[in-house]
Amino acid sequence: MNDETRQKIRDTLVRLLSRREHSVSELQFKLQGRGYEQQDIAPEIQRLTDLKLQSDQRFAEVFVRNAISKGQGKMRIQQELKAHNLLPQWVTAAFAEQETDWFELAKQVHDKKFTSDKMLKAKEKHKHIRYLQYRGFDTEQIKYACRCRYQG
């Protein structure tokens, strides 16, 4: 790799990281999509990690915080983080740092989407349940959040 390529990779990495946190796997994917080779990318990402400009742990914390603020459930967040190849202890720590009441979050998400208090048919109730499942909430959280009255 020549100095010009190295500098272009560094500039691209710094530009990406200046906008928001990225995981190592995400940076690799983006740079490979721009035509750079893995053997050229890895040392530059490692350099930024050593300088503490990139951190998978910090990425996990920011990602979890943002996902919770968007009303996503723990199961969905975990699934999305899995794609970033993060160490499990960082994911666990990121969730622990938030101290989220998942039951109340599920209820808030439900009530924001479905505001009516009318009697629901079974089909409509299932629509509420599917919506919360898609958002990443588990069965108990959905039962708590979706206390809709419905007609058999």
- Model confidence pLDDT, tens digit, residues 37-47: 999 999 999 99
User: Which of the four pLDDT bands, split at 50, 70 and 90, describes residue 107?
Assistant: very high
- Whether residue 15 is found in the same domain as residue 42: yes
Q: What confidence score (pLDDT) does residue 125 get?
A: 86
What is the C-alpha separation between 71 and 74, in angstroms, rounded?
Answer: 10
State how many domains the chain has: 3
Q: What confidence score (pLDDT) does residue 28 get?
A: 96
| Residue 121 belongs to domain spanning | 102-151
Q: What confidence score (pLDDT) does residue 151 get?
A: 57
Kindly state the percentage of the chain with pLDDT values over 70: 95
State the CATH number of the domain containing residue 43. 1.10.10
Q: What confidence score (pLDDT) does residue 45 get?
A: 96
For the stretch 122-144, pLDDT in tens is 888 899 999 999 999 999 999 99
State the CATH number of the domain containing residue 62. 1.10.10.10
Contacts of residue 102, Cβ cutoff 8 Å, sequence gap at least 6: 73, 74, 137, 138, 141
Helix, coil or strand: residue 144: helix
